[in-house]
Amino acid sequence: MSSPLAIRPRFTPELDPAFIPASLWNKAFRDLARAEGAVPMALALERADGSVSRFDTIVLPESSAHFHLNLPYIERIVKFLLWQRGGWKVYAGGPAAIGDHLRKVYAPGGEREFDYHFMSGVYENPFTVVTTTPDRVPAEKETTVALGRHLDGCRVGFDLGASDRKASAVIDGEVIYSEEVPWDPKNQLDPQYHYEGVMDSIRRAASKLPRLDAVGGSSAGVYINNRVRVASLFRGIPKDIFDNHIAGMFLRIRDELGVPMDVVNDGEVTALAGSMSLNDNPVLGIAMGSSLAAGYADRHGNITGWLNELAFVPVDYRPNAPADEWSGDGGCGVQFFSQQGAIRIAESAGMTFDAGLGLPEKLVVLQERMQAGDALAPKIYETIGTCLGYAVAHYSDFYELKHLLILGRVTTGAGGDIMIERAKTVLAAEFPALAATVNLALPDEKSRRVGQSIAAASLPAIERN
């Protein structure tokens, strides 16, 4: 994103030096707007259930010679809001040229065509941008629900990732068994592969229990009432087969098992895991796995109706930033805070891997080299940590933050500790007020890898006669 704004980070990610922190770009823009007579800009996102999220900011007046900077500034904020909070209708309350730009970009054939179709599908309404004035933008109307925290009985929890399935057996809140099984769901066209994989993980964990009372699961994607709406794990399956065999797969599994079962977005379970382990709120939980999952528990420990798909949220505003493989957009979180991001940075810095290795295997090699004292390995984690520090500041513009719990395979080992310490250093130097109020935490080593499946086990309530 080219601009005349002066962006001077105190820290440069050593192995990704072109990185432009969204947090600093936005701050510089707002400083310029205030200096040139800022005008209000209100944004609202409406979801299918009638709930509304609102975000208020400022933009440059139409008299400004830099008015054009309003367009990328608001477009990137809308992008963040769409994937954080979700919605099928966006109200743009401000200069008409900004709303016109959003309508052009978020449209079939536009730069954000992927987002247009995704949001239309999730909310079952054609994605729409309404240009209006700030005073006519709808008021906020959020909804929250209590989630999980049921620890009684004999339970199985599973977490479906792009490279492995995790499962845990839990008795009255005590984990007695956890395991990870490799799989490759994204590249499979036969829905039976997914069904058998999920059932295998549940049965293996259930075999360690005296009985099975309930099953809870988490998976990347959008799930409503245990039905799969959109999920990257199943994106190789044609739509007609998806509709007939995948959309209701977890309802079928529930009926076959004959016990209560709940499946929700993996980000929500990440937040639940954080809230349960810290016993405090609010919590933003992020899981750095094959992709980047996120979830949020509010100050009351409840879950919002938001998407919280931070994998698609832009954190890097450089021109030609590394592009997300699915949406095609540049600078998104998945390219930094995931296996994809870690290996991208490693390979761009000259680290080589054997041909044919997948992302999980490459990450294992990176972790082994870290343990063996490879001089390049810690720099990879320091680079990720620098980007993370700036990203946390960006997240704080959109979330009330107190605890940020970080899970996932990328955090495993000493590299995870290096990453978090680097992020804390960036926050303390660049954003001291934020650093004083936000706790960045890694759980213990085992929870970093299987914490989501343990929290998932607590999702369903057991019906008592």
Is the distance from CB of 438 to CB of 404 less than 8 angstroms?
yes
Same domain? For 252 and 323 the reply is: no
Is the distance from CB of 125 to CB of 186 less than 8 angstroms?
no
- 275 in any annotated domain: yes
In a 10 Å sphere around its CB, with 0-12 CB exposed, 13-18 middle and 19+ buried, how is residue 230 labelled? Answer: middle
Strand partners of residue 180: 166
The secondary structure of 262-276 as a DSSP string is EEEEHHHHHHHHHHH
Same domain? For 134 and 154 the reply is: no
Helix extents (H) in 279-349: 339-348
Same domain? For 274 and 373 the reply is: yes
- SS3 call for 377: helix
Q: How confident is the model at residue 465 (pLDDT cuts 50, 70, 90)?
A: low
Same domain? For 116 and 129 the reply is: yes
Write the pLDDT tens digit of every residue in 245-294: 999 999 999 999 999 999 998 888 888 888 887 788 999 989 898 889 89
Long-range contacts of 327-330 (CB under 8 A, 24+ apart): 327/114, 327/115, 327/118, 328/114, 329/79, 329/111, 329/112, 329/114, 329/115
Write the pLDDT tens digit of every residue in 393-436: 999 999 999 999 888 889 999 999 999 999 999 999 999 999 99
Give the domain CATH number at 411. Answer: 3.30.420.40
Helix extents (H) in 1-69: 22-35
Write the pLDDT tens digit of every residue in 1-28: 545 788 999 999 999 999 999 999 999 9
State the pLDDT at residue 447: 52
Same domain? For 333 and 376 the reply is: yes
Same domain? For 275 and 231 the reply is: no
Q: How many domains does the chain have?
A: 3
- 446 in any annotated domain: yes
Is the distance from CB of 414 to CB of 46 less than 8 angstroms?
no
Same domain? For 129 and 234 the reply is: no
- 464 in any annotated domain: no
- Tell me the torsion sign for CA atoms 409, 163, 263, 154: negative
Written as six digits, the tokens of 190 are: 């036969």
Same domain? For 408 and 289 the reply is: yes
Same domain? For 307 and 447 the reply is: yes
Write the pLDDT tens digit of every residue in 135-169: 999 999 999 988 899 999 999 999 998 888 999 99
Whether the ω angle into residue 191 lies within 30 degrees of 0, i.e. cis, is no
- 12 in any annotated domain: no
Write the pLDDT tens digit of every residue in 169-207: 999 988 999 999 999 898 898 999 999 999 999 999 999
- Provide the residue range defining the domain that includes 96: 22-142
Which of these three, 264, 291, 318, is where a domain ends? Answer: 264
- 97 in any annotated domain: yes
| DSSP element (H, E) containing 383 | helix 377-395
Answer with the residue of higher pLDDT: 220 or 115: 115
Which of these three, 116, 142, 168, is where a domain ends? Answer: 142
- 5 in any annotated domain: no
Sheet holding 174-182, edge to edge: 174-182, 164-171, 154-160, 214-219, 261-265
- 125 in any annotated domain: yes
**For all residues of the chain together, what is the average pLDDT?**
93
- 361 in any annotated domain: yes
The closest alpha carbon to 57, from 111, 19, 97, 95, belongs to 95
Same domain? For 360 and 228 the reply is: no
Instruction: Please list, in sequence order, all residues whose beta carbon lies within 8 angstroms of the beta carbon of residue 355, skipping any fewer than 6 positions away.
Output: none
Which of these three, 142, 175, 197, is where a domain ends? Answer: 142
Strands (DSSP E) found in 187-321: 214-219, 222-224, 227-230, 261-265, 283-288, 292-297, 303-304
Same domain? For 129 and 150 the reply is: no
The closest alpha carbon to 160, from 132, 114, 199, 105, belongs to 199
Same domain? For 290 and 421 the reply is: yes
